[in-house]
Amino acid sequence: MNRMRVFSYCLLCLVTVWLAACAATPTVPPPGGAGKAEAVPAPAPQPPAREPVPPPQPKPKPPVVEPMPAPVKHPEPAPVVDPPVPPGPPPAAVKLEAVLFEYDAFTLDAAALEALERIYQVLAKEQGTFEVEGYCDERGDDRYNISLGESRAQAVVNWLVARGIEGRRLKQISYGREFPADPGHSPEAWRLNRRVEIVPAGSPGPGVRRRAAGN
Amino acid sequence: MSVSSCLGRGAGAGTGRTGAAVLRVFLCLLILALLAVPAVPESTAGDNGEEVPIDVTAPGQRLLRTVVAKPLSDGKEEPACAKELGDLLSFDLSFAGPFEPAADPQQVRRRGIAPGLFDFAPLEAAAVDFLVLSGYTVAGSTLTVELRLYHVPSRSLKVAKRFTATVKELRQIGHLFSDEILLAVTGKRGPFSGGITLVTRKGGAKELALMDYDGHNMRPLTGNGSLNLHPDCAAGGAEIVYTSYKNGGPDLYRREIYQGSEARLTRSAGGNITPAFSPDGRRIAFSSSRDGNAEIYLMNRDGTGLRRLTSNRAIDVSPCWSPDGREIAFVSDRLGKPQIFIMGADGQNVRRLTTSGPYNVNPSWSPLGDRIVYSGQVEGTFQLFSIMPDGRDNVRLTAVGRNENPRWSPDGRFVVFNSSRAGGDGIYLMRADGSAQIRVSSGAGSDAEPVWAAAR
């Protein structure tokens, strides 16, 4: 109990010193208003409420001269118009099936391997380069999904190269959860959207292809 | 309640009461003062040479009753102007946290906004803590606004500012004054004059846009018809890095948001995504698949000095920096499902941060250092959480809809994010503790990935 009291007095002293320090800070802000941070000062000791005293009649004062920040001219940001992308070679007339994946996975299951074997048979007879596009369903995180789609595309490229397709003919890219093959929000739509699409290099982009497909 | 206003009450209460009551008040003061200290890391104490005396975001404090008076005209009345300015100040201060709006008890028009031209008595009778007065003059397209903040109990003028600009810049002026009010009352400037960059859907494209923090004045930043994603801003700066598909695969670009100057930072096969400026703006952490699968890399702000930080067969993505630049939080599925990890900025000492929930992504480290916000999957959708960097005190902040991409305001007071709670994705704000959630974007449900940038 005694120790508690000593501790309390110590606290009291500390706080009193601190209060005194606070009270010593000027109550009138420095020129410029808020140039410096300071605690809001304690109110000056006020007499207890009395009969209303008429407020002091101010003499007409000269206009307050305060340092004011000069107005800054702000140019409006102009949208950057990028030069149009040069058209690629005409796309070859080859259409390949999609390779599908399980949720949050880029491993090739039995169905994917069967699809890849059929894709290999077509690619082996074709010339030219192909884009290997990775996609995800809409449920995951945007950013993680771009990496996941990249891993899916990479898994497909690795398998095809191991099977015998030249690596330089395949270029992977991921669009994450953009450009769904099926715009729905059902488990079936998600199943179709977790995919890798392989298209001839120079084909219209996925946005254009999706619009052409009506979604 | 701020410490100093508690002071005012304490002094009054102490005179007529027992020593125990005085002691209680002092103890309360001391605890508040002690609580306030850890919330302000050493590194920010020297910000503009200001000391940061109190933490008004601490829970359980009394709100400061604040009157935002109807703006007065020095000449011709411009009711639309006056209303916009008054509404804006009220919105900023209500959202800020320490303030509670109070009705203006003054019935007759004040003679002016300078000291002596109005009466404090009605405000004191209504127990008002702060009074915001403003006056404006419109001459052609030139607007002059004068703003004052008074501390009512001490009858003292705390802030006086005059701004001259064009009429179109009225909102910018108002937000600047709100920032000054927060500085005067809390010791730390507000972020309201800053802008928010975001990603807005335009058909099959996603473009970057810029708006005021409260959703007004939205204007485009890019118009290339491609995918433009993952904007990130250097703390306190007006420069972003972002991912764009405009030249083929995803590459990184650095851009000044108000001037529009831009530099391309990567040109490599394999995607380069999710860039994050280091707190000093000199380095950029990002994720790239250039070496086979997604790993975290570092480079200088001009794209030179590439350095790889992670090396494993899992996906490593979405880096974000601690405010001291010593650590990087990131997302990895190295243990099966995506979770948030923290490593040193040299790639060493990796530790797992999130341990609850199956799928946790998209971390953002508070500029104050004390919290990391992220989105985690709950029942098939995403909710926002806040956790301490040592993994303690994991708190859920949202409940309805799909909530993603949380990012801090530059002062660490607020979090901006996108949510589908009202239909399509829109930009929302909340305080760091999850209170005061409010939608600010007005688009028809296609806005996401907000980042709070500095004022121009």
What's the pLDDT score for residue A76? 52
Domain, as residue range, for B91 = 62-186
Residue B20 lies in a domain: no
> What distance in Å separates the CA atoms of residue B70 and residue B82, rounded to the nearest whole number?
7
**A186 within a domain of the structure (yes/no):** yes
Residue B331: list chain A partners with CB under 8 A. 141, 143-144
Regarding whether B174 and B204 lie in a shared domain, the answer is no
Pairing of strands B283-288, B295-300: antiparallel
Q: Rounded to 10 degrees, what is the CA torsion of B88, B94, B100, B106?
A: 10
Q: Do B182 and B201 lie in a common domain?
A: no
Q: How many helices (H) and strands (E) does chain A have?
A: 5, 4
Residue A6: pLDDT above 60? Answer: no
Q: With contacts defined as CB-CB under 8 Å, which chain A residues touch B206? A: 178
Whether residue B56 is contained in a domain is answered as: no
Q: Which two tokens stand for residue B75?
A: 């000449």
Whether B150 and B247 share a structural domain = no
- Statement to judge: residues B159 and B207 lie in one domain: no
Q: What is the end-to-end Cα distance of chain B in Å, rounded? A: 31
Looking at the fold, whether B252 and B322 belong to one and the same domain comes out as yes
Question: From the centroid of its chain, how far is CA B131?
Answer: 24
Burial of A116 (0-12, 13-18, 19+ CB in 10 A): buried
Contacts of A72 (CB under 8 A, 6+ apart): B165, B456
Rounded to the nearest integer, the mean pLDDT of chain B is 87
- pLDDT band (50, 70, 90) for residue B260: confident
CATH number where B84 lies: 3.40.50.10070
Q: Residue for token digits 């420069």?
A: B239
List, in order, residues 6 or more apart from A182 with CB less than 8 Å away: A188, A189, A192, A193, A215
Which pLDDT score, from 0 to 100, does residue B25 have?
44
Residue A142 lies in a domain: yes
Tell me whether residue A207 is in a domain.
yes
pLDDT at B333 over 50: yes
Co-location of B293 and B164 in the same domain: no
Given CB atoms, is A179 within the 8 Å cutoff of chain B? yes
- Let me know if B49 is exposed, middle or buried by CB neighbors in 10 A (0-12, 13-18, 19+): exposed
- pLDDT tens across B371-381, in order? 999 999 999 99
The total of structural domains in chain A comes to 1
Asked if residue B388 has pLDDT above 80, the reply is yes
The answer to whether residue B1 is domain-embedded is no
Task: Tell me, yes or no, whether B57 lies in a domain.
Answer: no
CATH number of domain containing A123: 3.30.1330.60
Domain that holds residue A130: 99-212
CB-closest option in B187, B315, B338 to A151: B315
More confident position, B443 or B296: B296
**What is the rounded distance in angstroms from the CA atom of residue B260 to the CA atom of residue B262?**
6
Q: State the total domains in chain B.
A: 2
* Cα B293 versus chain centre, distance: 34
What is the pLDDT at residue B238?
A: 83
Which residue in the set A81, A148, A211 is minimally distant from B315, CB to CB? Answer: A148
Name the residue type at position B194.
G
Does B228 share its domain with B332? Answer: yes
Angle between helices A2-23 and B19-36 (to 10 degrees): 70
C-alpha to C-alpha distance for B80 and A6, rounded to whole angstroms: 62
Q: Position of tokens 């730390």?
A: B188
Query: Is B36 in contact with B28 (CB distance < 8 Å)?
Result: no
Which residues lie closer than 8 Å to A88 by C-beta, 6 or more apart?
Answer: A201, A202, A203
Q: Of B126, B154, B186, which one is at a domain's C-terminal end?
A: B186
Q: A81–B116: do the CB atoms touch at under 8 Å?
A: no
Q: What is the pLDDT of residue A72?
A: 46
Q: Which residue has the higher pLDDT, A142 or A63?
A: A142
Give the CATH number, domain containing residue B371. 2.120.10.30
Mean pLDDT calculated for residue range B247-264? 92
A175-189: pLDDT as tens digits: 999 999 999 999 999
Q: Quick check: is B426 in a domain?
A: yes
- ipTM above 0.90 for this complex: no
A22 close to B (CB below 8 A): yes
End-of-domain residue from the set B167, B186, B205: B186
The reply to whether B385 and B285 lie within a common domain is yes
How many angstroms separate the CA atoms of B197 and B211, rounded? 6
